[in-house]
């Protein structure tokens, strides 16, 4: 008996409910064009936008047919995107990810989809397609996915559903002309492909699961469908229209790590250490892993485009979209900044904080640090000295804390810092750059950054737990 998981994607619908709120908050230079774009992109209509994912079984078709019929949704499939051609000039269906996404974007922006909402069946099929849809500005309000990994569910649903002649007739005539071939080799191959990709697709919408339904028993099939429809009719909105999306810059020793942790805890943001994300992308099984291994075989540096892809994929995950984020250790240059800003279109950075610390301050903070390899403890010869005599002989200085390393990092940071600041000051819609004197005490630095984030995100201070 197959399990269907339904998720409400609550983190992507961040638009305030009225046009006036959009105007008051965004203050666009061209209000008429701005409002027109909002209407065309369905940013102010409370209509369902649904993905239905699953192998080519009758239960998937039944869910789609019921949702489209009872909720008056525009029913979209890859087949429906075929361009209309004459019988003499037949063109193949769109196959490339970029072409499919372009056609899908054009279709969902048409008046009927904007007015009543839409349902896309069996697309996206891969994580790459799902990510491309997000970058194109296509975001579902709900996702319904078949969550079984057993072929027995494939047969069980088919057998039970056709026992009901009413359901069978409706599904066969209206939405599933290929039911007779459902156990074909092609269908089985599509099911295997689906099971291999579904977890990667849903990973982009992590933490969005809301309910699970089981469809397959003859006596409660219709009831289960009604529960799915009721679920799609629900809408949940985030408590705030805007969330902080912060880039934190500074040389080694300026306090980026500590500030990021404190700010993430204070505002319930996702803390993103780019270096950690880069290591994770190079180790986990993904298309990026192969690219990294190919680069490691050469002496060439990692391309900026690949680094930006790692960063943007992380920042566009559901967790970051829903909660906001603060990222440090990237980008390092103006070129990387430009690429990242382009990749994050729609969920743009709203504050760039620069922790300006002198070389003397950085050396004073980092050079006296010592590490005990036996316990993992980190000490500071002046501020937190080791009091255990036996441990004193074990203490070593980590390579990144040496005077030469701190100086080199400081010089590298300042080589690109001015260009990056200039970009955020003059090439964004508004000046989002904030310069903070990181030579000040920690609490003073934290208060200055906190004030900058509150001003940028237009959000209220969260209640203390």
- Report yes or no: 358 and 440 within 8 Å, Cβ to Cβ: no
Q: How confident is the model at residue 300 (pLDDT cuts 50, 70, 90)?
A: confident
* Sheet with 74-76, edge to edge strand ranges: 74-76, 118-121, 49-53, 142-146, 3-8, 209-214
Give, for 246, the enclosing helix (H) or strand (E): strand 245-249
Predicted confidence at residue 39, as pLDDT, reads: 59
Q: How confident is the model at residue 277 (pLDDT cuts 50, 70, 90)?
A: very high
Q: How confident is the model at residue 413 (pLDDT cuts 50, 70, 90)?
A: very high
Predicted confidence at residue 441, as pLDDT, reads: 94
Q: Which of 354, 341, 313, 328 is nearest to 436 (CA)?
A: 354
Sequence-distant (6+) residues with CB within 8 A of 69 are 174
User: Most confidently modeled of 9-13, 230-234, 418-422?
Assistant: 418-422
Q: How confident is the model at residue 99 (pLDDT cuts 50, 70, 90)?
A: confident
Q: Is the pLDDT of residue 25 over 80?
A: no
Q: Is the pLDDT of residue 263 over 50?
A: yes
User: Strands 209-214 and 325-328: what pairing?
Assistant: unpaired
User: Strands 351-356 and 118-121: what pairing?
Assistant: unpaired
In terms of pLDDT, which residue wins out, 132 or 188? 132
Residue 432 has, within 13 A of its CA and on its CB side, a CA count of: 23
Q: How confident is the model at residue 184 (pLDDT cuts 50, 70, 90)?
A: low
User: What is the three-class DSSP state of 161?
Assistant: helix
Residue 195 has, within 13 A of its CA and on its CB side, a CA count of: 12
Sequence-distant (6+) residues with CB within 8 A of 51 are 120, 123, 124, 140, 142, 143, 144, 145
Least confident of 61-65, 201-205, 338-342, 346-350: 201-205
* Sheet with 351-356, edge to edge strand ranges: 270-273, 325-328, 245-249, 351-356, 433-437
Report the percentage of the chain scoring pLDDT > 70: 72
Residue 297 has, within 13 A of its CA and on its CB side, a CA count of: 5
Q: Please state, in angstroms and as integers, the Cα–Cα distance from residue 122 to each residue in 78, 83, 169, 178, 221, following that order.
A: 8, 19, 21, 14, 21
Predicted confidence at residue 464, as pLDDT, reads: 43
- Two structure tokens written together for 169: 């007739």
In terms of pLDDT, which residue wins out, 137 or 381? 381
Q: Is the pLDDT of residue 42 over 80?
A: no
- Two structure tokens written together for 124: 């996206």
Q: Return d(Cα 359, Cα 108) in angstroms, integer.
A: 54
Q: How confident is the model at residue 128 (pLDDT cuts 50, 70, 90)?
A: confident
> pTM higher than 0.75 for the full model?
no
Predicted confidence at residue 206, as pLDDT, reads: 60
Q: Which of 327, 302, 332 is nearest to 316 (CA)?
A: 327
Q: How confident is the model at residue 315 (pLDDT cuts 50, 70, 90)?
A: very high
> If you average pLDDT over every residue of the chain, what do you get?
77
Report the percentage of the chain scoring pLDDT > 90: 35
Predicted confidence at residue 359, as pLDDT, reads: 97
Q: Is the pLDDT of residue 180 over 60?
A: no
In terms of pLDDT, which residue wins out, 323 or 94? 323
């Amino acid at each position: 008996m197959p399990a269907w998981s339904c998720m409400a994607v609550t983190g992507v619908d961040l638009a305030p409910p009225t046009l006036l709120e959009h105007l008051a908050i965004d203050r666009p230079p061209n209000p008429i064009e701005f409002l027109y774009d909002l209407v065309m992109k369905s940013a102010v209509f409370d209509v369902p936008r649904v993905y239905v994912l699953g192998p080519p079984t009758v239960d998937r078709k039944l869910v789609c047919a019921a949702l489209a019929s009872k909720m008056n949704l525009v029913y979209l499939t890859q087949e429906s995107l075929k361009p209309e051609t004459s019988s003499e000039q037949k063109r193949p269906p769109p196959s490339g990810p970029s072409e499919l996404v372009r056609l899908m974007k054009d279709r969902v922006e048409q008046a009927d989809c904007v007015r009543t909402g839409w349902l896309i069946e069996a697309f996206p099929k891969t994580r790459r397609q799902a990510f491309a849809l997000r970058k194109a500005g296509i975001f579902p309000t709900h996702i319904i996915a078949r969550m079984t990994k057993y072929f027995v569910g494939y047969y069980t649903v088919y057998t039970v559903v056709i026992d009901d002649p009413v359901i069978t007739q409706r599904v066969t005539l209206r939405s599933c002309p290929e039911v007779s071939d459902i156990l074909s080799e092609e269908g089985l191959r599509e099911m295997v492909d689906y099971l291999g990709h579904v977890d990667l697709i849903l990973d982009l919408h992590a933490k969005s699961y809301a309910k699970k339904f089981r469809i397959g028993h003859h006596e409660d099939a219709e009831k289960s469908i009604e529960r799915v429809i009721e679920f799609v009719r629900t809408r949940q909105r985030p408590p705030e229209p805007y969330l902080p999306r912060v880039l934190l810059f500074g040389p080694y020793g300026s306090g980026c790590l500590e500030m990021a942790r404190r700010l993430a805890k204070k505002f319930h943001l996702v803390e993103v250490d780019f270096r950690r994300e880069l290591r994770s992308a190079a180790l986990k099984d993904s298309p990026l892993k192969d690219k990294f291994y190919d680069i490691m075989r050469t002496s060439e540096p990692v391309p900026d485009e690949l680094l930006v892809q790692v960063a943007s994929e992380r920042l566009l995950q559901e967790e970051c979209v829903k909660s906001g984020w603060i990222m440090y250790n990237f980008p390092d240059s103006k070129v990387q900044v430009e690429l990242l800003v382009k990749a994050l279109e729609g969920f743009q950075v709203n504050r760039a904080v620069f922790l300006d610390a002198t070389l003397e301050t950085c050396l004073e903070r980092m050079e006296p640090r010592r590490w005990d390899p036996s316990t993992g403890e980190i000490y500071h010869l002046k501020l937190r000295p080791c009091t255990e005599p036996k441990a004193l002989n074990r203490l070593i200085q980590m390579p990144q804390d040496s005077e030469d390393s701190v100086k080199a990092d400081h010089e590298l940071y300042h080589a690109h810092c001015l260009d990056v600041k200039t970009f955020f000051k003059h090439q964004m819609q508004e000046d989002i750059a904030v310069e903070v004197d990181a030579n000040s005490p920690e609490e003073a630095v934290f208060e200055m950054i906190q004030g900058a984030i509150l001003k940028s995100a237009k959000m209220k201070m969260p209640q203390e737990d």
